């Protein structure tokens, strides 16, 4: 299926690795012009260079999204290369690796998480939205999490941030819906990554269910029920997240806005 993304200019924040990288590569395969972003110039440039080597068009920008001046600089760099951005994927963020519980949780940790996950997306969005509205075409897709709607007992700051991002998505969608700009969120479920595979292997070994060097298929089968009750019976793949986002970013999804699309293998217990 032709998603009609040829020539569309897309900025994917946090796309030097992981989900963001998969999204960037998928959009490039659909012939979009990619702006790859990361805080590490070497990693971001490597992804952009590989997209170019495979026949795509890409450019790397760097910057810390918690600093206004760096956000403005990377937006200026992106537009100098590609012109006004048509598609923004707010992927950068994350839990930051904090493991504070409710007994030792600090306000500054919550503030930092909010800055990293919500305000970062706000800083980039508000700089790109005006030209999308002027052009009467644009896509903003915020990468959320199931933690926003099914918050676990731990890392409550991250869950709260993603819930705020969902609310921001709904409000922004209403504000620009009549101007050809759609705004949606995507909430990945249990998705394969090196960190997830490491946790699965460790969990399987500790319970005597498999050896550390067992094939991934065996590890996935015995360890998945320990971590998540996924009805589909497997973890998701990065390309499955990227495929969903590419559709939402395309002209084919012009009547879809204000949606939180859960790509979770049926993990969520309700609609």
pLDDT single digits (tens) 228-253: 999 999 999 999 999 999 999 999 99
216-227 vs 194-206: helix crossing angle, rounded to 10:
80
The matching CATH number, chosen from 3.40.50.720, 1.20.120.530, 1.10.579.10, 2.40.30.330, for 9-191+238-263 is 3.40.50.720
Return the structure tokens found at 42: 């070497």
Phi, psi of 204 (to 5 degrees): -65, -40
Q: What is the dihedral of CA 167, 227, 247, 255, to 10 degrees?
A: -40
CA distance to 41, 81, 259, per residue, from 115 (Å): 22, 27, 23
Return the structure tokens found at 236: 């998701």
SS3 261: strand
DSSP codes joined into one string, 225-239? HHH---TTSS-B-HH
Residue 97: its pLDDT value, please? 66
- Max alpha carbon distance in the chain (Å)? 60
The answer to whether 59 is a known catalytic residue is no
pLDDT single digits (tens) 52-67: 999 999 999 999 999 9
Return the structure tokens found at 253: 């999804």
In angstroms, rounded to a whole number, what is the distance separating the alpha carbons of residues 135 and 204?
52
**Which member of 59, 114, 158, 255 is catalytic?**
158
pLDDT in tens, the chain (271 residues): 899 999 999 999 999 999 999 999 999 999 999 999 999 999 999 999 999 999 999 999 999 999 999 999 999 999 999 999 999 999 999 887 667 888 888 999 999 999 999 999 999 999 999 999 999 999 999 999 999 999 989 889 999 999 999 999 999 999 999 999 999 999 999 999 999 999 999 999 999 999 999 999 999 999 999 999 999 999 999 999 999 999 999 999 999 999 999 999 999 988 7
CA distance to 101, 201, 269, per residue, from 23 (Å): 32, 26, 27
Outline which parts of the chain fall under CATH 3.40.50.720: 9-191+238-263
């Amino acid at each position: 299926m032709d998603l009609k993304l040829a020539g569309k200019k897309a900025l994917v924040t946090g796309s030097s690795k992981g989900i963001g990288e998969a999204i960037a590569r998928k959009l490039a395969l659909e012939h979009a012009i990619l702006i790859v972003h990361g805080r590490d110039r070497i990693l971001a440039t490597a992804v952009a260079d590989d997209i170019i080597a495979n026949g795509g068009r890409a450019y790397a920008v760097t910057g810390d999204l918690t600093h206004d001046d760096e956000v403005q600089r990377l937006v200026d760099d992106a537009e100098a290369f590609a012109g006004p951005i048509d598609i923004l994927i707010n992927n950068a963020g994350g839990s930051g690796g904090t493991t504070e519980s409710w007994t030792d949780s600090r306000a500054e940790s919550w503030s930092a998480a909010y800055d990293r996950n919500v305000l970062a997306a706000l800083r980039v969005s508000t700089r790109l939205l005006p030209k999308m509205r002027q052009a009467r075409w644009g896509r903003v897709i915020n990468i959320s999490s199931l933690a926003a709607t099914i918050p676990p007992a731990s890392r409550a700051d991250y869950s709260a941030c993603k819930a705020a991002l969902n609310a921001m998505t709904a409000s922004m969608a209403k504000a620009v819906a009549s101007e050809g700009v759609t705004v949606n969120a995507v909430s990945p479920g249990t998705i394969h990554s090196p960190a997830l595979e490491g946790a699965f292997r460790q969990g399987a070994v500790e319970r005597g269910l498999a050896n550390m060097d067992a094939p991934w298929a065996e590890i996935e089968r015995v360890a998945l029920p320990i971590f998540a009750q996924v009805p589909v019976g497997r973890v998701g793949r990065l390309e499955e997240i990227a495929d969903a986002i590419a559709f939402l970013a395309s002209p084919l999804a012009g009547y879809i806005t204000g949606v939180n699309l859960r790509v979770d293998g049926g993990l969520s217990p309700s609609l």
